[in-house]
Structure 1
């Protein structure tokens, strides 16, 4: 692998040449990426099974299919997104016309996580390439099989002066990369590491997109379809064994329906994974022993209503439902990021809102209710990145809405047009004709204040 400095210099020269700017170049690069994904699809699925024991259906749906959709959507709309956008101009500067241009930022750095180790590093790459940038991609070393296939796919699709992969221990490699100046850094991962990324970007005044996480709540009120809510919550929590930044982190259940909800949730786990999820080919594993040990520590912080079985050698933790959570328990202070789900009763909507807002702003919020006013109350009173009503996770798949956090759960947003804009410098230009030169702006000003106020009305 070439030295980081060599990659950085070659990409800077390539970008400065203007080669990445044309519509034809960008579309061609995206088509090559899609062809590379197709060629290596089996390798990607094999790697994801090796790293996380992901079943082929789950791996394809969450790591590959989303990328095909993203590329196709971008190819269909890129010409329109790149067009200069005329906007109105102030009357006092007549005769003027104004235009908004979107141009590439330049060199970008994309740092991926281990939980969706393929999709969450290639997805932002689609936006970076569509916007006309060069990119260095750093996949997570904690998913080594996927790290290798990411490098293979990128090498097959791109020239290294356009897009290159850098691998290795993130704690060593990322600071070495960020010692160089980039025009945009995109990071997906934990809040503590996100802070370090922001600190490393600060000396260069590099803009950063942070896709982080936090404790995403799920509210089930008394008027919800309880059985459907239970299935969708369990599905969202057990997808990737809960190792999802937008997984339901805890459930707030109206105390009147909590016993019924718990029973349906237990039934949903059995329906999805059988009586022993450890034997199911559809249930993933924890990424490593370190995360296993962290998660196992939560199991004693409440009563295990269902699940609780573990096998460290297999990195297996059963889908687990906790009730009667201890006051001040770590499981309610830290993002769980695993298949353990606390369920907490509440008395009314105001109490549920108070519980949620006592924590930092979450990345996602899920509300199960048939009452539109109740849903709107949570939308209006809770700050969160994005979410669903009567569902979980699926807002991530809609390319027409932005995905991103707020405050501690992240900054910046992407998917579809939002990815293109995130990786573009949005530049405004006003052009003024010379056939008329209104003298009101020039000294001496005299009594021009009255004229100026009239023009502003």
Structure 2
């Protein structure tokens, strides 16, 4: 604990001073993050290109633009979100008696570390502070926290350096800190007491974070990814499906937590879908994706070797080429994959798409429900009934029909996992609520003591009916048609 105890103590002291509570302070920090995005945009583009060859178009779209949208959404609404809200009161507390007030109040948590595993890049804002993720390198806040250490990762050197050196110049150094660390250092950091922990990464590391949080009874939000199913029904536009699935799977070379991880479809649909996927890949990246400026590389050597080993599952029908020196893995489609193959036992997190066949829609639902609940479930069908049946009979963190990834861009939708894919939610107002404590408050004047006589000893049974009438909610009257 001595490694970071001083830092944690300093950040907590800044929160206790009350400086982070006012709206003006939070707005100033959010605006500072906006300036960081604008001033360092070119540096961000260069860092992502050096670390993993991520196309600037993808960085602009999925990171900078989305982050700017989240920041602006928060700036537009933060004042309204922060307002105390009056609540209904029963007869005793609100029945014309003077000097009573009841409301709920959003109070920011004290110290909130955001943690992540290794790989990828993003400026996608998750929560009230920033953290590195196993699929993105930088995440920025939606509401300024009272103070939060941040730890990065070791394979994205350039982005890590940019965040560590530049970001503190924009934020209040007494209330925000950037800490770069690996798993061991992060584990020691978590020995300190925090008030809320946000983590995005793998389930295995998520368990470490949750175990550390349990020691101090610290609440957590975990975004743990997982294997996202993509069911393609026989009634759909195959060309459109192929483009949208290929884009979602091979965006950032497949290194996104919400990428479709495998396709479920009938044998007949597979025979139509594979050629359509081949055409879509050629349309996007040319006949040789290795030479395309629009196709990224795997973020690290360890990750490259892990994904390359997954190519031994099933049979390669598209792609399959690799280059260890460049950490290049071609956009790849696998068929004849078995349920127990390595590619189906872990999140792929690379440009590999297995296709498994099912005999029916019911078979697909059974297959999905027999596995851990995913972060996202995708369904493609021209039939609304098919989409609704999959929605109603499965469970997942999120759900998207006839597209991929784009549901994440809506600040009006919560984002998060369920079960094995995580817990908690964020994005837009949901981030504000997640990283704030909803505090109840009831105030009354110190007079009118006679009102309390009903509840004071010595108890008189004759008072009970009157007291129950005063404090109990009554069920609304209903009308039943026979």
**TM-score by structure 2 length?**
0.90
1:188-337 to structure 2, matched below 5 A, reads: 188-337=200-349
The alpha-carbon distance between structure 1 residues 205 and 128, as it changes in their structure 2 partners (threshold 3 A), is farther
- SS state of the match for residue 102, structure 1? strand
> Residues 148-184 of structure 1: CA distance to partner in whole angstroms, max 9, x if unpaired?
111133222113211111113x122212211211111
Q: Which residue of 1 aligns with 2:412?
A: 400
Structure 1: give runs of 5+ residues left out of the alignment.
none
2:110 pairs with 1:103:
no
Q: Which residue of 1 aligns with 2:147?
A: 134
Cα distance in 1, alignment partners of residues 120 and 302 from structure 2: 18
Cα distance in 1, alignment partners of residues 424 and 259 from structure 2: 20
TM-superposed CA distance for 1:432, in Å, is 4.4
2:190 pairs with 1:161:
no
Q: Determine if contact 1:211/1:411 at 8 Å carries over to the other structure.
A: yes
> Residues 171-208 of structure 1: CA distance to partner in whole angstroms, max 9, x if unpaired?
22212211211111111111111111111111111111
> Residues 360-419 of structure 1: CA distance to partner in whole angstroms, max 9, x if unpaired?
010001111121221111111111001211100011111111000001101111111111
Cα distance in 2, alignment partners of residues 176 and 442 from structure 1: 51
> Residues 423-454 of structure 1: CA distance to partner in whole angstroms, max 9, x if unpaired?
11111123346547165434414144544565
Cα distance in 1, alignment partners of residues 251 and 352 from structure 2: 12
2:20 pairs with 1:20:
yes
TM-superposed CA distance for 1:296, in Å, is 1.5
- SS state of the match for residue 150, structure 2? strand
Q: Determine if contact 2:127/2:426 at 8 Å carries over to the other structure.
A: no
Equivalent of 1:378 in 382, 390, 404:
390
Q: Determine if contact 1:37/1:153 at 8 Å carries over to the other structure.
A: no
> Residues 335-360 of structure 1: CA distance to partner in whole angstroms, max 9, x if unpaired?
11111111112222211110001110
Q: Report which stretch shifted further, 224-233 or 324-333.
A: 324-333
2:129 pairs with 1:125:
yes
Q: Determine if contact 2:126/2:427 at 8 Å carries over to the other structure.
A: no
TM-superposed CA distance for 1:93, in Å, is 4.4
> Residues 96-141 of structure 1: CA distance to partner in whole angstroms, max 9, x if unpaired?
5421100111111011344443425776527867254211121222
1:416-455 to structure 2, matched below 5 A, reads: 416-432=428-444, 434-435=447-448, 437=451, 439-443=453-457, 444-451=459-466
Q: Determine if contact 2:127/2:142 at 8 Å carries over to the other structure.
A: no
**TM-score by structure 1 length?**
0.94
Cα distance in 1, alignment partners of residues 194 and 93 from structure 2: 37
- SS state of the match for residue 297, structure 1? helix
TM-superposed CA distance for 1:302, in Å, is 0.5
TM-superposed CA distance for 1:92, in Å, is 5.3
TM-superposed CA distance for 1:68, in Å, is 0.9
Instruction: Give structure 1 regions of 4+ aligned residues with deviation exceeding 6 angstroms.
Output: none
Q: Determine if contact 2:66/2:124 at 8 Å carries over to the other structure.
A: no
Total equivalences in the alignment:
455
Cα distance in 1, alignment partners of residues 145 and 312 from structure 2: 51
The alpha-carbon distance between structure 1 residues 54 and 415, as it changes in their structure 2 partners (threshold 3 A), is same
2:193 pairs with 1:181:
yes
Cα distance in 2, alignment partners of residues 352 and 43 from structure 1: 45
1:28-67 to structure 2, matched below 5 A, reads: 28-67=28-67
The alpha-carbon distance between structure 1 residues 58 and 129, as it changes in their structure 2 partners (threshold 3 A), is closer
